[in-house]
Structure 1
Amino acid sequence: MLPCGPALTFVRCLVRKKNVKGEGLEDSLCRCLSTLDLIALGVGSTLGAGVYVLAGEVAKSNSGPSIVVSFLIAALASVMAGLCYAEFGARVPKTGSAYLYTYVAVGELWAFITGWNLILSYVIGTSSVARAWSGTCDELLGKQIGHFFRTYFKMNYPGLAEYPDFFAVFLILLLSGLLSFGVKESAWVNKIFTAINILVLLFVMISGFVKGDVDNWRISEEYLINISAITDLLGSIFPMPRVIYAMAKDGLLFKCLAQINSKTKTPLVATLSSGALGLPVKHCAFNNLYLNYTFFCSSLLGSMFPLPRILFAMARDGLLFSFLAKVNKRQAPLVATLTAGVISAVMAFLFDLKALVDIMSIGTLLAYSLVATCVLILRYQPSLTYEQPKYYPEKAALAASERESAVSESQINMIQESHFSLQTLINPSSLPTEQTATTVNCLVGLLAFLVCGLSALTTYGTHFIANLEPWSTGLLAALVVSFIVTILLIQRQPQNQQKVAFMVPLLPFLPSLSILVNIYLMVQLSADTWIRFSIWMALGRYICSFKSPSLLGLMNPVLDNSIFCL
């Protein structure tokens, strides 16, 4: 057992938060992408396997015509998460995505968990797109590649692919080399592929709606009589893990939202394309439809781009090996890019990735949930020091005076509210204090607990609720009422008055709804998926222990003028 002193120090280091000062916002990475580059990279990363292959596969195997509803629900989760990403991108314009946002808001432990899951998500995303690209080319050549490798390189081991995919490895290493040259060069290639991609997608949607038949969306009234048919319909509407995969390219697209005001068009495109695919035929074998022979490149580039930056950010902070934080002369994370390419290539070479796609959904949904939670927490903090706004000289004195006045009033309120009571919970001070911030933290924790209970009940107790069992309906009502009351209590607390370029509207309702949707979708995943996820987290725990000197602060994880505060 650890002595009290070292154990307390270890715990404090796990919950310490990253404080990014205004002078520390500049990254050592090259910042050369324009708004058009970001739009092309974000849209291109999503318009790949998710739109071309997954929409038809889910429509054929799971949802049928209700694929449109499935994509709309997935789009709802993505758009709400995108708004939260946009606010954080405005507050903390540094490399790291949800990992850095979690580090700033809730501490080092959750930041490592988030970053570790994002690494898994991007590795599987890159590998799966590469294998889809390889399979498409194999179909184009009459399946001669697959036949050759099945004959001479067949692997008869459970959990592995039927044969090693050398073409996917070559493709990943080729694009990794392109990314290592620099961001600007790869952005030009990506824009070309994305432009072709959009033209093909427009052709698919127009053709689908022109040749479509609305009768294919209709079912008989007799099918809706019994409750089992209704639950079958609910199951067809919610093949969410696979649909979330199509929306899971969050890193760049959502950071782009902080700089442009067009929000995201990708959920709309995916919904329209799925509708176009669902109209022409009724439950047809979409897996025989290959219109995307050369257009996975933009999706693969978009999948590969965020992964080296997550590795770079975590290595820069001392949570991963320091050699991953090295930058070349072109200001690109060369070592992290090549490492990410090798890991993704190994995954694509050996593993059957169909069973691993759901694990990627866990990482994405967990990141969505934590970012929404961080927005709730940060908005109610008494002071924020993540970015120092640039004022003109004549306005600097006035801004400083306003900040000093706000701090003084906050300190007075904190002294007056030295004890917690129901009165202070319902009628708090006009400005946020340490007490109101602690209250919000507790309420957000309670909100997450209620959401988990509500999601589990509506997922595994659907039969009891449909039969109006007293205990199930009573528990459901209690959870719903408690959820609403908790949100209203959070809404009563004073918000921080610091303004940034973009702020999430309808706080705390929209982030709370985002947490509800994301956790509900996570509960839908199978037990096998959670077992694989636990194995991945155990591996992360081992690496965390191996890097424990950094976590204890015995090594210096602070680079780029970034400091830690307890």
Structure 2
Amino acid sequence: MDKSIWRRKPISAFEADIKNNQLKRVLGKWSLTAIGIGAIIGGGIFVLTGTAAHYHAGPALALSFVVAGIGCIFAALCYAEFASMLPVEGSAYAYAYGTIGELFAWAIGWGLILEYAMGAMTVAVSWSGYFNKLLHLFGIEIPFWLRNDPVSAGQFARDNGLAEPSFALNLPAFFIVWVVTYILIKGIKEAASANNVIVILKLAAIIFIILVGAFFVHTQNWVPFIPAVELVEHADGTMKEAYGWAGVLSGASAIFFAYIGFDAVSTQAGEAINPSKDMPFAIIMSLVICTVLYILVSLVLTGMISYKDITGDALKAPVAFAFDKAGQPWAVFIITAAATAGLISVMLVMMLGQTRVFLGMAKDGLIPGFFKEIHPTYKTPWKSTILVGTLVSVVAAFTPIGLLGDMTSFGTLFAFAMVCLAVLILRFRDPNRERPFKAPFLTIVAPLGILVNTVLILMLDGLAQKLAFGWLLLGLIVYFAYGRPNSFLNNYKED
């Protein structure tokens, strides 16, 4: 077999993987759509809208969601075509392996780890914040050293004149990760059922925010819709430019974290009943539904309160803050409860996607076989699920997480751009291959997808870019030290 780093996994090998699939096929198109919605609607809409409006786009936050949504729809169409052709675990990693080559596939798989694992850590910490806020609304307080990581707990103590604790951990974040881990080990059907219930609650809450919030919109808050460029002070005391069209673009990068999730649908191919038809439907439908809801929520938020007033604690829960300012404190209970429940499904889908990417890479020999071991009863990759749960829970409990949102966005944008490139290459390389779903106007859609996602990468925080590139460099070392020597393609022979 070709030893080149650009060797491609033969289609016959993918077909063998599909035939030997050990996972339970229990997911229909609406369950798959709910998985996409479950991952997309979460921390982004409940948290990032405040920071994006105040520090980047102002009322034009709605345009930021449009730009990010356009970048996503280009990628979604390319994902849908690949998902219909190669309905296997591994998402963008698998697609690149069959089209561009092994090294490219490894880079994307390594980037997806950045997306899913760090995304789950970030969401776990966000969930802890909303959970503590919910408890506070009922008069219950967890000791500050049990609800913050050591660094944040020390800062809290100093800010409030308290003695700095000798030990601290974010116990709620640690706990919720293990609840999600247990659900994932029990089985995909149970995970999907739990996700469906949470998605219904989240959609109800989002519709509530849009319909009720519309009565408290003051159109003068939208004027000017795209504010003039000015310097805005950030929490760390630095002054950075905001607003204008550049603010719309940087806002799109900042809230891109809100869109990660629809690609998680493509990791569920091994558990989909009819993956060739249902996965393209679910990918596109979940993205369209969430984009429309995001635009409406951002218009309501910036219409209820001025983007200048979304500061301090309001940045952590901007939607709840807007209703409180509008004299509707009762709504804060509903929104906080919805966010607390909703973030659980985001974690569930991210950790689910992570283990399925590991499963695909382990089947190809690029990472140890430990990651592909299936539980004899539950039919889930239980060992890798426990490992992911351990890592995510520990990091979420003990680490102050600031740049993980941007780093997660980097991994997502990188994967999106590569999928657009891969599907375009395959159209020219293998134009006659059967495509149950064919992306329309691909020669326009794919290049635009590459362009938009690359521009958004360049608009991310500079430190996050450096850390993400460092992560990719570490991945190259692991690939040449372990992945390439142990790749199954070294000894693969087609029948």
Q: TM-score range by the shorter chain?
A: 0.7 to 0.9
The corresponding residue for 2:392 is 344
Per-residue displacement from partner, 1:443-481 (whole Å, max 9, x unpaired)? xxxxxxxxxxxxxxxxxxxxxxxxxxxxxxxxxxxxxxx
Aligned partners of 2:262 and 2:286 also within 8 Å = no
Per-residue displacement from partner, 1:141-199 (whole Å, max 9, x unpaired)? 338336244899557999xxx95212111110111111001100111111111111111
Which residue, out of 531, 542, 550, partners 2:485?
550
Alignment partners' CA distance in 1, 2:177 and 2:53: 29
Per-residue displacement from partner, 1:229-249 (whole Å, max 9, x unpaired)? 998412321223321100011
- Output aligned runs, 1:358-373, within 5 Å: 358-373=406-421
Aligned partners of 2:184 and 2:352 also within 8 Å = yes
Quote how far apart the aligned CAs of 1:222 are.
10
Alignment partners' CA distance in 2, 1:146 and 1:259: 46
Q: Report the TM-score when normalising by structure 2.
A: 0.80
Aligned partners of 1:122 and 1:304 also within 8 Å = yes
**Inter-CA distance 257–263: structure 2 relative to 1 (3 Å threshold):** farther
Alignment partners' CA distance in 2, 1:270 and 1:501: 30
Alignment partners' CA distance in 2, 1:23 and 1:549: 21
Which residue, out of 336, 340, 349, partners 1:292?
336
Alignment partners' CA distance in 2, 1:554 and 1:146: 54
The corresponding residue for 2:323 is none
Aligned partners of 1:318 and 1:550 also within 8 Å = no
The corresponding residue for 2:234 is none
Quote how far apart the aligned CAs of 1:124 are.
1.1
Alignment partners' CA distance in 2, 1:242 and 1:554: 39
Quote how far apart the aligned CAs of 1:263 are.
6.3
- Could you say what secondary structure the match of 1:347 adopts? helix
What stretches of structure 2 of length at least 5 have no aligned partner? 156-166, 231-239, 268-277, 321-331
Q: Report the TM-score when normalising by structure 1.
A: 0.71
Per-residue displacement from partner, 1:55-109 (whole Å, max 9, x unpaired)? 1332233322111000110111111111000000010011110000010110000
Quote how far apart the aligned CAs of 1:304 are.
1.7
Count of residue pairs brought into register by the alignment: 432
Alignment partners' CA distance in 2, 1:152 and 1:95: 34
Alignment partners' CA distance in 2, 1:527 and 1:179: 35
The corresponding residue for 1:236 is 247
Quote how far apart the aligned CAs of 1:530 are.
2.1
Quote how far apart the aligned CAs of 1:207 are.
1.7
**Inter-CA distance 108–65: structure 2 relative to 1 (3 Å threshold):** same
The corresponding residue for 1:147 is 144
Alignment partners' CA distance in 1, 2:414 and 2:108: 7
Comparing 50-59 with 37-46, greater Cα deviation is found at 50-59
The corresponding residue for 2:357 is 310
Alignment partners' CA distance in 2, 1:188 and 1:167: 23
- Could you say what secondary structure the match of 1:171 adopts? helix
Aligned partners of 2:108 and 2:415 also within 8 Å = yes
Work out whether 1:171 is the aligned partner of 2:139: no
- Could you say what secondary structure the match of 1:354 adopts? coil
- Output aligned runs, 1:400-479, within 5 Å: none
Alignment partners' CA distance in 2, 1:307 and 1:224: 40
- Output aligned runs, 1:152-231, within 5 Å: 163-219=168-224
The structure number with the bigger radius of gyration is: 1
The corresponding residue for 1:425 is none
Cα RMSD for the two superposed structures:
3.0
Which residue, out of 361, 382, 386, partners 1:334?
382
Work out whether 1:275 is the aligned partner of 2:299: yes
Alignment partners' CA distance in 1, 2:204 and 2:225: 37
Aligned partners of 2:363 and 2:372 also within 8 Å = yes
Name the amino acid aligned to 1:357: G
- Could you say what secondary structure the match of 1:314 adopts? helix
Aligned partners of 2:34 and 2:286 also within 8 Å = no
Aligned partners of 2:92 and 2:415 also within 8 Å = yes
Which residue, out of 316, 320, 323, partners 2:367?
320
Aligned partners of 2:366 and 2:484 also within 8 Å = no
Aligned partners of 2:364 and 2:487 also within 8 Å = no
Name the amino acid aligned to 2:336: N
**Inter-CA distance 132–538: structure 2 relative to 1 (3 Å threshold):** same
Which residue, out of 280, 283, 306, partners 1:258?
280
Name the amino acid aligned to 2:184: L
Which residue, out of 58, 82, 85, partners 1:91?
85
**Inter-CA distance 257–83: structure 2 relative to 1 (3 Å threshold):** farther
Aligned partners of 1:124 and 1:347 also within 8 Å = no
Quote how far apart the aligned CAs of 1:210 are.
1.8
Work out whether 1:49 is the aligned partner of 2:60: no
**Inter-CA distance 237–97: structure 2 relative to 1 (3 Å threshold):** same
The corresponding residue for 1:525 is 460
Aligned partners of 1:81 and 1:368 also within 8 Å = yes
Which residue, out of 98, 101, 104, partners 1:107?
101
Alignment partners' CA distance in 2, 1:540 and 1:37: 33
- Could you say what secondary structure the match of 2:304 adopts? coil
Per-residue displacement from partner, 1:309-341 (whole Å, max 9, x unpaired)? 011111111111111110112321111211111
Comparing 259-268 with 331-340, greater Cα deviation is found at 259-268
Quote how far apart the aligned CAs of 1:539 are.
2.5
Quote how far apart the aligned CAs of 1:302 are.
1.8
**Inter-CA distance 30–541: structure 2 relative to 1 (3 Å threshold):** same
Alignment partners' CA distance in 2, 1:222 and 1:71: 17
- Could you say what secondary structure the match of 1:310 adopts? helix
Name the amino acid aligned to 2:200: A
Which residue, out of 6, 9, 24, partners 1:15?
6
Alignment partners' CA distance in 2, 1:278 and 1:42: 26
The corresponding residue for 1:392 is none
Alignment partners' CA distance in 1, 2:361 and 2:392: 18
Alignment partners' CA distance in 2, 1:518 and 1:96: 21
Alignment partners' CA distance in 2, 1:277 and 1:156: 31
Quote how far apart the aligned CAs of 1:280 are.
0.9
What stretches of structure 1 of length at least 5 have no aligned partner? 1-7, 384-495
Aligned partners of 1:9 and 1:552 also within 8 Å = no
Comparing 327-336 with 101-110, greater Cα deviation is found at 327-336
**Inter-CA distance 230–130: structure 2 relative to 1 (3 Å threshold):** closer
Calculate percent identity across the aligned residue pairs. 26
Higher relative contact order, structure no. (Cα contacts within 8 Å, ≥ 6 residues apart): 2
Alignment partners' CA distance in 2, 1:163 and 1:148: 5
Comparing 208-217 with 304-313, greater Cα deviation is found at 208-217
Alignment partners' CA distance in 2, 1:512 and 1:151: 44
